[in-house]
Amino acid sequence: MVNVALTRTQRARREQLIGAALRAINERGRDNVRIRDIAAEAGVSPGSVLYHYPELGDLMFDVHRTVVDRFYRHRADAVDAEASAAGKLAAAIETGLPSGRDDEVARVLYEMHGLTERSSAHSALMTGLYDREVALYDAVLEVGRATGEFTFSRPAREIAATLVALEDGLGLHLMSNNTSVERGAAKHLLTECARQATGCPVG
């Protein structure tokens, strides 16, 4: 029983540190975050951070995993909340783009994806997110085909991959402060792409 309680305590502290690291990365940028910054954000000593995460890289991995799961779960929940295939597709598009340049989860997600060039573990997280997002769109498209809302000649999986690639590119421009790309215009491009692919007005 003592060990179970300790495990729960450790898990709670790790979650606290992950949240603190997420906020610190959002404020300072991933490359500028140090152990002392995370400790200050969490209201603990640097030694406490090192006790739970002797290597900063392990904490960064848990932050990446957390934002990936949070980002995808938000999308899946929004899609599940809609009854029609058109509504589900609109929800997928709405949640696939950053809500704005101050979107904390999206900003940290893009920051953490920069680690994929040097880490197979981080690369696996990004690959997993991509695969889940494509599968989410694919499932929505198949629902629309089954109900007769959508008609398309290309494979659903191909359309899904196109939408994910488009939203990833647009999202990167939005988070990079590209003043030539506004969220409304980005959403319109995605919506038009979906409409042309499915033959159904979306959103």
- Cβ 60 vs Cβ 16: under 8 Å: no
**pTM of this prediction?**
0.90
- Cβ 118 vs Cβ 74: under 8 Å: no
Enumerate long-range contacts of 53-57, CB under 8 Å, 24 or more apart.
53/14, 53/17
Pick among 3.30.830.10, 1.10.357.10, 1.20.1090.10, 1.10.3710.10: CATH of 56-198:
1.10.357.10
What token pair was written down for 109? 């997600």
Q: For residues 35 and 3, what is the distance between their CA atoms, to the nearest angstrom?
A: 27
Is there a common fold for 1-54 and 56-198? no
| pLDDT per residue as tens digits for the range 158-198 | 999 999 999 999 999 999 889 999 999 999 999 999 999 99
Q: For residues 143 and 135, what is the distance between their CA atoms, to the nearest angstrom?
A: 12
| Domain range summary for the chain, segments of one domain joined by + | 1-54, 56-198
Yes or no: domain 1-54 corresponds to CATH 1.10.10.60: yes
| pLDDT per residue as tens digits for the range 33-59 | 999 999 999 999 999 999 999 999 999
